[in-house]
Amino acid sequence: MRRPVLIQLSLFVITAVVAAIVGVGYVLGPGTQIFGGSLTLTAQMDDAVNLAVGSGVTYRGVAVGSVTDISISETALGADLHLTLDPGTLVPVGSVARVTNNNALGIQTLDIMPTTADGPYLTDGDRLDVPSDLQPRSLDELLLQASTLTESIDPDSVAELSKTMSSALAGTGDALAGLIDDAETLSRMLDAHAPALTNIVETGTPMLDAFAARSDSIPGSASAAREITQQLLAQEPSLIHLVDRSPDALARTSALLDDTRGTVGALMTNMVSVSSVLGDRTPALSALLVALPDTLGELTSIVDGDRGNFTLVGTQGPVCWYDTTRRSVGDESPREPNLNLYCPPGPDLEQRGAQNAPRPNELGRSGASEPGNVTGPPMAEDPLLIPTAVEALDYWTTLLEGVQG
């Protein structure tokens, strides 16, 4: 036999064997494996209605095997479906199955739904759970439920509902048409702003989570909001007056800002410097705000009828002062007092300052070695009274009368 003929015969034999294997596999179904290695599982169901030997088995909709046998379960309370899956099919432990329709003809298959993508996986002989709510309903049960639902509907109520709907919708054709048109417009707007809406939803979810985490405080917040609302309702006349007058006030404010547009920037820049100065003197400002009301109240004591009497003390004589190092504004840290300072005694010398406070343990001036400096005019015998403008005018008039006389 010639060599080319031998090669052709060999190729024909190989092709025939492959075709036979494929044909047998096609005839016996996808779950039958010629060379073994398939996975065999058992699924227990209440009944095997509409399922038979040869029914397909899918894994998330992908065909992976078939039903090879159906038998009565050992407890006689259900049916056992014996499944043969393709080699290499990995079904995680804990997966469940459900009966589904995979085509328009109503042919049902058993679909495996895994709960995880990781192992461990089922092995030969393991059981696959088919929950009762995922099993197909029998036709008589569906008909019974439909009959019960139909009997529960009151015909008179349906007729009354139809009349009510007819009366409510009578003459509203144009409004309904406009509503449908508006819904279409709204749909287009939502579609156009879908990215922004998505961003709002994504950013709003953490906020809602935060509200949920603080749900215990929501009743208190609602109560506070109710009290504020009641106060606003009590002040309704004042609010109406404010709202009525606000436009004019805002217009004048706007005109003022427009006129001072060139100087507002400089003013704000200067406010930065003023704020820094005031910020360092917060304790002094606090003391001023506390003392200012009492001070303003004391000013009423100078009023005499329709006049105010002011007395200016021009001098109190020389005072003693110390050349001490100034601390920075805002420095309130404690420091040790200098016990070496003292004011030298002298006639009419006002010894002022914390350094002249009585020292502890009756120290007196013991250890004092740094005398203070004396400055200022001598002490006046009587306070110097400055006349008011009216008194000065009367005095000047009297002098002129004397000169003329």
pLDDT in tens, 91-141: 888 888 888 876 655 677 888 888 888 878 888 888 888 887 666 666 666
119: number of CA atoms within 13 Å, CB side? 6
Give phi and psi for 164, each to the nearest 5.
-65, -45
Distance from C-alpha of 395 to C-alpha of 323, rounded to nearest angstrom: 45
pLDDT in tens, 275-330: 877 777 788 888 888 888 888 888 777 777 777 777 665 556 777 777 778 787 77
Distance from C-alpha of 291 to C-alpha of 298, rounded to nearest angstrom: 11
Distance from C-alpha of 184 to C-alpha of 178, rounded to nearest angstrom: 10
Beta carbons of 91 and 122 less than 8 angstroms apart: yes
**So what's the pLDDT on residue 137?**
61
Q: Which residue has the higher pLDDT, 402 or 397?
A: 397
Handedness of CA 214, 216, 222, 225 (dihedral sign): negative
Q: Whole-structure pTM over 0.85, yes or no?
A: no
Q: Which two tokens stand for residue 326?
A: 């100034």
Cα–Cα nearest to 96, from 72, 116, 120, 113: 113
Maximum average pLDDT range among 49-53, 193-197, 360-364: 193-197
